[in-house]
Structures are given as C-alpha cells and as structure tokens.
Chains A and B, each alone.
Chain A
C-alpha cells in the first residue's frame, strides 16, 4: 500500500514546526510515532499535502515530576519509555499499569503518549488514562501556549480541539494531595487487538481514605467514556466492599457497549464492573472479597 504524495519536512524546533503547520492551512499533519498516522496514510484515510515530522526536535522526550508531584510527559515520550520508567512505576500506577497493555512491544518503541491522545481513538488507552487522571494537554501555536483540559480536548472519535496550526507539547497530570494509587485493566482477544473493554482508575489516597478518584473507559462506546462521576461513591471514604460496589455500578452504567464479535453488550458491561472492582480491591487496605 502506498500513501498518496505529500511534502515532508523535519524541523528542529517547535517554532519551525508551527510555521509549517500554519503555512499548511489545515493540509499539514504532524508525524510523531507514526503508529496511527502511517497506517492511515497507507490506507489513504489521511492524505495531507504536508507531513511535519517532529522526531528531530530535541528535548521533547522528558518524563518529569515537579517537586509538588505534577507529572509532565513530553510529546516524544514513547509508550515503551513509560513502560520502563522506574519513576512512573513508583509514582503513577495508572500509567504504569496501562503502558505494557498499549498495542504490542514493537509498536510501543515508536508510538507516543501525546500522539495517542491527539489521535483520540475511542479505543485508545491513553485518552482514557488521561480522563481518569484529570490531565490536560499543553498546546503551542503561533500565538503561544495554552492549556486544554482533557475533558475539552477530545471532541469525538479521531477529533481533538487543537487548531490546525497548533502542536501538542506535553501532557500534564496534576499532583495528588496524598498518594497516587489506581490501575488499568484491559481485556483483549490477543495482543494488539482493539480492546473488548478497558478500565482506567486513578485514586488519590490519604492513608485509607480516598480524597480523589477518576474513572474512564475505552472500547465500550463510540468515544472515550468519562465515568468520573463515580468518584462520588468514594470521596472521603475508605475502600470497603460497599463503597467499591457502588462505584463499580456507577462506572458500569456509564459504559455504552455494543454487541459485536468481541462479545455482547451485557458481557462487556459486566467486564467493566468486574475490572473496576478488581482495581479498587487491589488498592484497598481493608479485607474485601
């Protein structure tokens, strides 16, 4: 399969990249890991006039925790960097759990966290993770930078709220007040397949008490599903059998699964509820079944 023709530039600075996007007037596309864009070029689902490769811009591959615990993930951080990062495995359990479940090990050497969020695939693991973590994206355009909260970033399947002349610079994940806990579970028929159902859970805990909670789903709807309202079942409380069941039920009710070859709608909703419970039980210090 051959992509249609495009011009190619690989600028060395963000400013140059923005200039190229601006000049492209909507016909230019950024190439990050290429693990979604290149397949789309080949299938001619995408046929930009200009491809702006950002892989030669130095200094965008940082994973940084500020002193207060805020996490910054630069635009060229690959899935495998997150998978292998000791800091992430110690301090950000939701991301640490999701990283090895994204695509397959070879796709993970190239694909980027930020590119995946920009791609806004309803099946995408990172968009769900970002919603649960209440993250935001910093974008830069000709007029400078702005921050877009994740809930306003993804407009729908494969659509984000950036302007054509903006580039996503980094993802920001707010610091927990207590300790970041949580997890990510995904049911897939085989490695690299689209998820039958994925569940992201982010917890902020002070001792036994939940002081913040976020939930999001992938693969069980036409878009990434924000189930953050289930936090109401947990805030100010401990993770007990009762609070866990309540939160899991709220999340499951938010799923919009459809029956397909991966399973029935009922089955997928059941998986969602089970996964929420499993993650919460694993993070509970109480003895809960």
Chain B
C-alpha cells in the first residue's frame, strides 16, 4: 500500500511509519497500510477500488468526493485516510442493494438529474445526509443542504426535483 503514491516517484520513507487502518466501508470491514499523508478519497478509490467517490477539484470546493463519515457528510479529499481508522464510511456504492436502486438513485434517473454524472455520487451522499435528518425537506432546504456540491451540467433544477422525488418515495415506504 505504500505504493499508492508511486506516481509521485517517492519511495516510502523509512522514518515515517506506514500505518494500518481498519475502516468499516458500507458495512464491511476493510484494512490497508497507508502513509499518513494519504487522503481518504484516495484510500477509497485506489486501495479499496471504490471509484464511485470522485475527486473533482481536490481543493475542498466541489463536493464530488462527499461521503458519509460516521453518518455525517464530509469531503473525503479533505480528510487523511489515517483519521478514518476505526470509523465507518458510506460511499455511493453502498446506496443500492443487490436488486434495488436506492430511492435517491431512482429519483436521479426519473428526474434526469445528471448529465456527465461527475458530481452525482457526491450529490447523492449529501442528499442522503439531509434525508436522514429530514424526510420532508422543502426545495429551499434541499438547495441549502446541497450548496457545498457543485454541478457544471444540470443547472441544479433537476437535482432538487430528484431529491424531492426520493423523499416522497421514502415517506411512502415508511407508511
């Protein structure tokens, strides 16, 4: 795993110990050896091969890398992988079950809420965090909750509709 940063052509340094981290990812315990400077987004993508989490800006601005960390949304490009040791993480790969899409995924499909799809995983994870707190959000509340996630394609309108769609379906499923 110390090879994760091979592309920057620097061999692991002997005086900086590689650390073992164990993270619960989408309900499954995963372990890796990492350099402390490895970012969580890269641990997920490169070590765990969960490439649904995107890195767009790498500067904490776009939210494409949004995941849930102990249930709260965070930008995984702005947390060290070592910090996730002993914590639980949910990524977009954890949304669907084997046979069924998550209502948010269905909503994005129904309402045409994506074009290139680059922002979509982050949008859905931020929306999931909102719906876990509030299953009956107003349009305003959705826009507010997604204001840390940028989309260059859709103009946001359909993303908001998709979240409303998902909320409605999830409320119906509760009854």
Tally of B interface residues using CB under 8 Å? 33
Complex contact A5–B37 (CB within 8 A): yes
A106 partner, pick from B5, B37, B58, B74, beta carbons under 8 A? B74
Residue from B13, B36, B74, B126 having most chain A Cβ neighbours under 10 A:
B36
Which of B8, B10, B147 contacts A192, CB < 8 Å? Answer: B147
Which single residue of chain A is at the shortest CB-CB distance from B143?
Answer: A191
Determine if B149 and A2 form an interchain contact, defined as CB atoms under 8 angstroms apart.
no
Residue-wise interface mask of B (1-29) relative to A, using a CB-CB cutoff of 8 A (1 in contact, 0 not): 00001001010010111010000000000
B149 touching A106, Cβ below 8 Å? yes
Is B61 a contact of A192 with CB atoms below 8 Å? yes
Range of interface residues on A (Cβ < 8 Å): 20 to 34
Collect the chain A residues with CB atoms within 8 Å of residue B59's CB.
Answer: 1, 39, 42-43
Chain A neighbourhood of B5, CB < 8 A: 2
Interface centre among A55, A106, A191 (most CB of B within 10 A): A106
0/1 interface trace, chain A 130-149, chain B, CB 8 Å (1 if under)? 00000000000000000000
Q: Are B16 and A106 in contact (CB under 8 A)?
A: no
Q: A39-B60, A104-B148 are in contact. Are A109 and B78 (CB under 8 A)?
A: no
Q: Which residues from chain B contact A104 at a C-beta distance below 8 Å?
A: 63, 147-148
Interface of A is mostly: loop
A residues 89-133 with Cβ under 8 Å of B? 103-107, 109-110
Taking CB atoms, residues of chain B closer than 8 Å to A39 are 59-60, 78
Query: When chains A and B are docked, how far (Å) is the Cα of A106 from the Cα of B64?
Result: 11
* Residues of A63-81 contacting chain B, CB below 8 A: 80
**Sample (18) of A-B pairs whose CB atoms are under 8 Å apart:** A5-B36, A7-B16, A7-B17, A31-B83, A34-B79, A35-B60, A39-B78, A42-B58, A51-B80, A53-B82, A55-B83, A80-B72, A105-B144, A105-B147, A106-B126, A107-B78, A109-B73, A110-B79
Chain B interfacial positions (CB closer than 8 Å to A): 5, 8, 10, 13, 15-17, 19, 35-37, 39, 58-61, 63, 66, 72-75, 78-80, 82-83, 126, 144-145, 147-149
